Amino acid sequence: MAQGTLLYAQSGGVTAVINATASAVIQTARARKVKVLAARNGILGALGEDLIDTSKESIAAIRALAHTPGGAFGSCRVKLKSLEADRARYERLLEVLRAHDVRYFLYNGGNDSADTALKVSRLAAEFDYDLTCIGVPKTVDNDLAVTDCCPGFGSAAKYTAVSVREAALDVAAMAETSTKVFVYEAMGRHAGWLAAAGGLAGNGRDEAPHLILFPERPYDEADFLAKVQATVKRVGYCVVVASEGIQTADGRFVADAGGGTDSFGHTQLGGVASFLAGRVKDALGLKVHWTLPDYLQRSARHLASKTDLDQAQAVGRKAVEYALKGMNAVMPVIVRTSDTPYRWRIEPAPLEKVANHEKKMPAGFIRRDGHGITPAARRYLEPLIRGEAPPPYGRDGLPKYVALKNVAVKRTLPRWRP
Amino acid sequence: MAQGTLLYAQSGGVTAVINATASAVIQTARARKVKVLAARNGILGALGEDLIDTSKESIAAIRALAHTPGGAFGSCRVKLKSLEADRARYERLLEVLRAHDVRYFLYNGGNDSADTALKVSRLAAEFDYDLTCIGVPKTVDNDLAVTDCCPGFGSAAKYTAVSVREAALDVAAMAETSTKVFVYEAMGRHAGWLAAAGGLAGNGRDEAPHLILFPERPYDEADFLAKVQATVKRVGYCVVVASEGIQTADGRFVADAGGGTDSFGHTQLGGVASFLAGRVKDALGLKVHWTLPDYLQRSARHLASKTDLDQAQAVGRKAVEYALKGMNAVMPVIVRTSDTPYRWRIEPAPLEKVANHEKKMPAGFIRRDGHGITPAARRYLEPLIRGEAPPPYGRDGLPKYVALKNVAVKRTLPRWRP
């Protein structure tokens, strides 16, 4: 224990493979005799000194994390502000780290988490506390800068492509006398990455999906309805993939079902598919069905991409290696070295290049007519959904997902009141 | 060909495994040197003399049907009325069968299809036309009489149980600062079979799903909201599985999103989950998400139950055997001979015992408080989702589903105008 303890925390929306990253972190650290604590419910547990002793978990349980979706230690949606605005919280965090001799802080999340890890590293330097901070990438939104792709995205992308292909076969079979239009709502507040992945379900203009609605392009109702009608006339049915984040030309979200905002300040969305379905029904008089997979798309570990799983584990391993080498304020990112064959490696990137930047989908990924993906998009996306990595199933027909004991470490500090 | 031709048709909503039945029908008939035609879009193709020559398909394609969802020849929602009311259509059907020397008519569907097959057999007898009619069971609704379960249901049930378990892990990880209530909407107009299958996702009152809303029990909003609130207080979050068909005590559907009726006279449903989510948000002020998997749940061949697949193939094989033995007006049904170990066999049942009867869920399957399943339900349901039967995947990360050529047989009759 001379080298100090490693604290691992999960942040933001969980994915099908974030626990695979945790599994790799813990296994790599164990092999190096480094003690690993995990913060319960992400940064909240770190602030509240609610820390989990992962050494109480069997190696079998830690291995089983690799095939278990969700966030095994809990995650949270709490964003720390600037060092100045949130100084009390940053200092408390440092106090907790110091109390448990934490020398390595691994924060597994998106843009905001990279920013937090960066700020913690700066504060530690200011206080002369020896701490190595690593951001570990994760998000189904695929919107992290620098890295070629984000662990979690590939599996959600595979779920999307497979689900669209399957539902399209159903619609095709029934279209003569039943549903003629089907709308699939994909996650993606600001970028159409998952909607684009739906495009992998088919090839050519007559294969589903026939229309993709991207948040990168303004929603034009007349154009949408005309294309739906033309597709039904030509093909017999029409499958639409719509991103939850589509907006009209004047910047209003097409459907804002929740209407609230979360603590990151994001608008709560939902209901785009049901809105579009209503328009198709009323304006075109066509029978329509829609689906809102919601959390199913980011928790479907049963349909994980092997590429995604491999990358989620690789960033976890590298994060520990970088930490133990004292490579402060970096993130292990995925670098693509070749499309065909698909090759990638992990490299360290400075957190300041990742934090608070948002990767947009390249304009060249959206077809000129605005409603499909280009060959360039396909070259980028296709390797990310490649390969299967099913979980083991029990005799009861269900995946054998693990539940950890999550034994808390004894608190040493006074309770903290923010 | 001395023994005549076999006509196979699919009817009603398709499933993840109805093509596996088709595959077994065609392979069994081919082995017996019987020519198989398939009606395009179900009974519509039979009426319109739009028949597909399955001998044009390779054996590889026919085998691949066993892992392809949807309806390979097209299905339809068209219900023939009584022999008296729809006499012209029944007689046209007989004319088409006669024109192609069809001596075996296999109709793959639910209650209504069993009824149609029965009526066709009666008409053939009346006209002294030698025809053997077989109903082949299929429906995700699991509401066919006599048979212990229906091919198609087990896979949809497995999809439901796995999806609820996965989403629940996501919600559990985020509940501290984000979504506290999650609502999953399951298909089931009149019976809560699929909602009940969601109950397999957990065990005990603190494991998800915490509440199941069955169409068999009146929806009581005050009770529902109180239980959601109590669960959130006790567990930290609450996962609800709601059947699309839930009704208030006075018989009104809780959410009637579509508002229309299909040609079977069923009310078009949808939107129960979004309605319940709205109530939770407004009345309890809790953050809520919901999912409406819609067609995904009945087309998810990637997550098919091995038991279901085996049974779908078995009824297909037996249907051909019964037909060739001249066992008229029967349906191969699944007879359960043991729960533990689970054993079943196929037996013939008279179509008149199946046609137009609806199997309700036994009252003893719903927990006394109305919001969960009993051990008896678990004993019945669990074997049906047992075993995995994933499709082969391509290098592109997508299942290799087959598209048939569906070459039409030359028409011999004048066009028919209904």
* Same domain, residue pair B124 and B161: no
User: Minimal CA–CA distance to B291: which of B162, B164, B153?
Assistant: B164
Answer whether residue B263 shows pLDDT above 90. no
CA distance B272 to B194: 15
CB contact at 8 A, B45 and B9? yes
Q: Give me the percent of chain A exceeding a pLDDT of 70.
A: 95
Instruction: Classify residue B376: in a domain, yes or no.
Output: no
The sign one gets for the Cα dihedral B310, B314, B315, B317 is positive
Q: Is the pLDDT of residue A23 over 50?
A: yes
Q: Which of A63-67, A147-151, A316-320, B202-206 has the lowest mean pLDDT?
A: B202-206
Residue in A17, A174, A401 to test binding to B, most B beta-carbons within 10 Å: A174
Per-residue model confidence (pLDDT) at position B260 = 39
Considering only CB atoms, A170 lies closest to which of B263, B289, B298, namely B298
A160 and A290 together in one domain: yes
Confidence of residue B252 (pLDDT cuts 50, 70, 90): confident
Contact B133, B3 (CB under 8 A): no
User: Is A141 part of the annotated catalytic residue set?
Assistant: yes
Q: What CATH number is associated with residue A69?
A: 3.40.50.450
Tokens representing A285?
A: 């008089």
Does B397 contact chain A (CB < 8 Å)? yes
Q: Is A203 found in the same domain as A124? A: no
Is A398 close to B165, i.e. CB distance below 8 A? yes
What pLDDT, on the 0 to 100 scale, is given for residue A264?
A: 43
Confidence of residue B225 (pLDDT cuts 50, 70, 90): very high
The reported pLDDT for the residue numbered B257 is 39
Mean pLDDT for B273-285 is 89
Cβ of A291 under 8 Å from any chain B Cβ? yes
Is A186 a domain residue? yes
Whether A179 and A268 map to the same domain: the answer is: yes
Q: Are residues A244 and A308 in the same domain?
A: no
**In the predicted structure, residue A257 carries a pLDDT above the cut 50:** no
Which pLDDT belongs to residue A262?
A: 36
Q: Record the pTM.
A: 0.96
CB-based burial label for A183 (10 Å; 0-12, 13-18, 19+): buried
Rounded CA gap, B389 and B71, in Å? 18
User: What would the pLDDT profile of A137-166 be if each residue is shown by its tens digit?
Assistant: 999 999 999 999 999 999 999 999 999 999
In the numeric block, the tokens 């200092």 are attached to: A91
Residue B256: per-residue pLDDT? 62
A104 and A27, same structural domain? Answer: yes
Closest-CA distance, A104 to chain B, in angstroms, reads 23
Q: Quick check: B275 pLDDT over 90?
A: no
Which residues in A lie closer than 8 A to residue B284 (C-beta atoms)?
A: none
A167, A268: one domain = yes
Compute the distance between CA of residue B346 and CA of residue B146 in angstroms, rounded to an integer.
12
Find out whether A313 is annotated in a ligand binding site.
no
Interatomic CA distance for residues A346 and A238, integer angstroms = 41
The residue in chain B having the minimum alpha-carbon distance to the alpha carbon of residue A77 is B177
**How many angstroms separate the Cα of A302 from the Cα of each of A72, A184, B53, B397?**
16, 20, 37, 14
- Per residue in B176-195, pLDDT (tens digit) is 999 999 999 999 988 999 99
Do A187 and A270 fall into the same domain? yes
DSSP-based three-state secondary structure for A366: strand
Taking the C-alpha atoms of residue B240 and residue B183, their distance in angstroms, rounded to an integer, is: 5
- The residue range of the domain holding B210 is 153-300
Which residues from A are below 8 Å from B68, CB to CB? 169
Does any domain span residue B258? yes
Average pLDDT over residues A235-242: 98
Last-in-domain residue among B251, B275, B300: B300
Verify that B241 and B292 share a domain, yes or no.
Answer: yes
Size of interface A-B (CB pairs under 8 A): 223
CB within 8 A of B216, min separation 6: which ones? B191, B192, B360, B361, B363, B366
Q: Is the dihedral of CA B66, B70, B72, B76 positive or negative?
A: positive
Task: Give A-chain residues touching B401 at CB under 8 angstroms.
Answer: 165-166, 169
Residue A405 has which token pair?
């004991």
CB contact under 8 A, A387 and B401: no
Rounded distance, CA A279 to CA B300, Å? 27
Output B1-5 pairs: Cβ under 8 A, ≥24 positions apart: B1/B33, B1/B35, B1/B101, B3/B34, B3/B103, B3/B324, B4/B34, B4/B101, B4/B102, B4/B103, B4/B104, B5/B34, B5/B35, B5/B36, B5/B37, B5/B100, B5/B101, B5/B102, B5/B103, B5/B104
Q: What is the mean pLDDT of residues B76-95?
A: 92
Quick one: B217 and B324 in the same domain?
no
Mean pLDDT taken over chain B: 94
| Chain A environment of B390 (Cβ under 8 Å) | 388, 390
**Cα–Cα separations (whole angstroms), residue A155 to A151, A298, A300, B158, B351:** 8, 7, 8, 20, 45
- pLDDT the model gives residue B253: 87
Section A166-188 average pLDDT: 96
Identify whether B407 is part of a domain.
Answer: no
Q: Is residue B364 part of a domain?
A: no
Give the closest-approach CA distance of A49 to chain B in angstroms: 15
Judge whether A3 is annotated as a binding position: no
Q: Which of A141, A256, A310, A339 is catalytic?
A: A141
Q: Please report which confidence band the pLDDT of residue A259 belongs to, taking 50, 70 and 90 as the band edges.
A: very low
Q: Across the interface, which of A274, A385, A390 has its CB nearest the CB of B274?
A: A274
E strands present in A32-179:
36-39, 51-53, 102-109, 132-137
The phi, psi pair for A151, rounded to 5°, reads -55, 135
Q: Domain for residue A35, yes or no?
A: yes
Is A369 contained in some domain? no
Instruction: Judge whether residue A260 has pLDDT over 70.
Output: no
**Does A114 share its domain with A10?**
yes
Of B78, B169, B176, the CB nearest to A177: B78
Mutation choice for B interface testing from A68, A185, A296 by most B CBs within 10 A: A296
- Residue range B1-57, pLDDT digits in tens: 347 999 999 999 999 999 999 999 999 999 999 999 999 999 999 999 999 999 999
Average pLDDT over residues B319-344: 98
Task: Nearest by CB to B386, from A77, A303, A396: name it.
Answer: A396
Place of tokens 């915490």: B210
* Cis amide prior to B350 (ω within 30 degrees): no
What does residue B209 show for φ and ψ, rounded to 5 degrees? -80, 140
Q: What is residue A317's predicted lDDT score, i.e. its pLDDT?
A: 98
- CA A30 to chain CA mean position, Å: 26
Q: Which of B281, B300, B319 is at the close of a domain?
A: B300
The predicted structure's pLDDT at residue B270: 46
Examine the pLDDT at A268 and tell me if it is beyond 80: no
Structural domain contains residue A393: no
The mean predicted confidence, pLDDT, of chain A is 94
Q: Is it the case that residue A224 has pLDDT exceeding 50?
A: yes
- A191-205, A273-287, B369-383: which has the minimum mean pLDDT? A273-287
Kindly state whether A340 is in contact with chain B, defined as any CB-CB distance less than 8 angstroms: no
- The Cβ of residue B375 has, within 10 Å, a number of other Cβ atoms equal to 10
Cβ separation of A295 and B167 shorter than 8 Å? yes
Q: Using DSSP, state whether B134 is helix, strand or coil.
A: strand
The confidence score (pLDDT) of residue B261 equals 38
pLDDT of the residue at B3: 79
Tell whether A157 and A291 lie within a shared domain. Answer: yes
How does residue A416 score in pLDDT terms, banded at 50, 70 and 90? Answer: confident
C-alpha to C-alpha distances, A358 to A111, A129, A145, A354, nearest whole angstrom? 7, 30, 6, 8
Chain B environment of A382 (Cβ under 8 Å) = 396-397
Q: Measured between alpha carbons, how far is residue A7 from residues A94, A105, A176, B207 in Å?
A: 12, 5, 58, 29
Average pLDDT rounded to a whole number, residues B139-168: 97
CB contact under 8 A, B291 and A295: yes
Report pLDDT for A255. Answer: 67
Closest CB to A177: pick one of B44, B170, B287: B44
Among B252, B267, B300, residue at a domain's last position: B300
pLDDT at A256: 63
Question: A417 falls in which pLDDT band (50, 70, 90)?
Answer: confident
CB within 8 Å: B294 and A167: yes
Contact yes or no for B163 and A387 at CB 8 A: no
* Domain tally, chain B: 2
Helices B18-31 and B306-324, axial angle in degrees (round to 10): 40
Tell me which of B141, B148, B310, B339 is the catalytic residue: B141
CB within 8 Å: B158 and A396 = no
CATH of the domain at B190: 3.40.50.460
Distance of alpha carbon B162 from alpha carbon B198, whole angstroms: 8
